[in-house]
Structure 1
Amino acid sequence: MSPSARERILSAADELFYGDGIATTGVDAVVDRAGVALGSVYNNFGGKDGLVEAYLRRRDHLWRATWERVAADAATPHERVLSVFDALLEWCRDHGSDQGCAQVAGLLQLPAGHPAVAVARSHKEHLTHRLTELGAGLNGVRSVVEDVAIVYEGVLVRLLLGSRPDEAIPRARKLAEIAITAHSGTVTSLGEG
């Protein structure tokens, strides 16, 4: 069964918005890539703003599903928090990472009132919220989550700058592990002298 026009449009938008940028990609380029009529974009999404929102929402949904699947295999709060890096490595293998985080790109390229900005902000809020849930039981979970989120966001920037996922992500995971251990009281915290 061939994908629907909606799915073809979203796939084309994902490729073009992520690869070339939201601001520089017109609806006509998406239509050409998807092999659909221009009216299909307007019928399915109401225009480019709705398409951008659907693109970021779709990526968010796919990311959350990947992370949840990976986190489900982790046995301890320590490993569940670190699962964000394991999921990111898998994500990069399946979806690429040369443009960094699509949600951050959306925040940078879209005006504050754009409907997709709320999707991107929600994606980032979910990171800290879910890390907090997964880390329940860890000493200083709020500080752990802040440290891990900073390392996570940093590795996304490193990927944007050309670092290889199979090198940068395990290194970031190791730094996050050090932060978790620091908060357990066995070594000096990253936030101390």
Structure 2
Amino acid sequence: MTSQPTARDRLLDAAEDLAAMQGVSVTPVDAILERARVSPATLYAHFGTKEGLITQALRRRLARWDTTWQECIEEAPTPEEKLLAVFTALSRHRHALTPSRWCVFLGVAAETPHPGRDLEDTLAADTRLLLHRLEELAATLVDTQQAPLLARRLVLIYTGVLGMILRGTDVDTATAEGRHIAGMTLHAAAGSTSSAP
């Protein structure tokens, strides 16, 4: 017999689902409470504020993204495939969770010009994870001095993929195209490394 989700988990699920589907600023607390089937007192007891709830929902989503991405890296057979696995992970991650218009982290960042410290740190953690892991993987393929630049370029491509999803491109199509462009970017960087004196 499976256990029922706790009130805390129902609140996290409701906040994540509604933020993903329609955005944070247009989602009133009452809508989250109704979806989670809890009282205002329960929300405030667990999270303090709506922003506290959103912060914890994002942290949980980031942990799930991290796990999915690591699994895709482990499955990839070569260093190049491991670097490009970010696009495989993006497709897998989006199919596994509540469909979102694009990136929940970018959406919350756009809607929250003055986040509190915890939310600001959580939004920054998503960017740090992308840059640092891509840089580590890139360093196995190009000169270590070029790895940070290649990582930033791949994040730009990754963000472009998310933008195309927002514009209506199918997730699998967008990630496949992003992977192709990232592969060309990698080959260009590797070629400039090998031809350097």
TM-based fold match above 0.5: yes
Provide the aligned C-alpha RMSD in A.
1.6
**Counterpart for residue 131 of structure 2:** 128
Report if aligned partners of 1:70, 1:87 keep a CA contact under 8 Å in 2. yes
Q: Would you identify which runs of 4 or more consecutive aligned residues in structure 1 move more than 4 Å?
A: none
The one-letter amino acid paired with 2:113 is: P
Question: Among residues 89, 94, 97, which one is paired with 1:95 in the alignment?
Answer: 97
Contact 1:10 1:55 in 2 (8 A): yes
Which stretches in structure 2 are left out of the alignment for 5+ residues?
Answer: none
Query: Who is 2:107 aligned against?
Result: 105
Task: Provide, for residues 95-120 of structure 1, a one-character-per-residue CA deviation record: whole Å limited to 9, x for no partner.
Answer: 25541111111111113342312211
Q: Which of residues 87, 108, 127 in structure 2 aligns to 1:85?
A: 87
Alignment match, 1:176: 182
* Structure 1 unmatched runs, 5+: 188-193
| Deviation for aligned residue 1:147 | 1.7
Distance 1:23 1:38 in 2: 18
Is it true that 1:117 corresponds to 2:123 in the alignment? no
TM-score (norm 2): 0.89
Which among 15, 18, 26 is matched to residue 16 of structure 1?
18
The answer as to whether partners of 1:41 and 1:47 remain within 8 angstroms in 2 is yes
1:153-192 matched pairs, under 5 angstroms: 153-185=159-191
2 CA distance for matches of 1:96 and 1:163?
17
Residue-pair matches, total: 187
**How far does residue 122 in structure 1 lie from its aligned partner after superposition?**
1.4
Aligned to 2:7: 5
Distance between the aligned counterparts of 2:86 and 2:140, measured in 1? Answer: 17
2:17–2:98 CA contact under 8 A, matched in 1: no
- Confirm or deny: 8 A CA contact 1:98 1:162 kept in the other structure: no
Aligned-residue sequence identity (percent) comes to 32
TM-superposed CA distance for 1:157, in Å, is: 0.6
> More deviation in 142-151 or 28-37?
142-151
Task: Quote the Cα distance in structure 2 between the aligned partners of 1:118 and 1:83.
Answer: 25
User: Deviation per CA, 1:133-158, whole angstroms, max 9, x where unpaired?
Assistant: 12222113223212211110100011
Determine whether 1:48 maps to 2:50: yes
Deviations 1:58-100 (A, max 9, x none): 1111111110111111233211110100000101211255411
Maintained 8 Å contact 1:106/1:116: no
Matched, 1:30 2:36: no
TM-score by length of 1: 0.91
Could you tell me whether the CA contact under 8 Å between 2:138 and 2:147 is conserved in 1?
yes
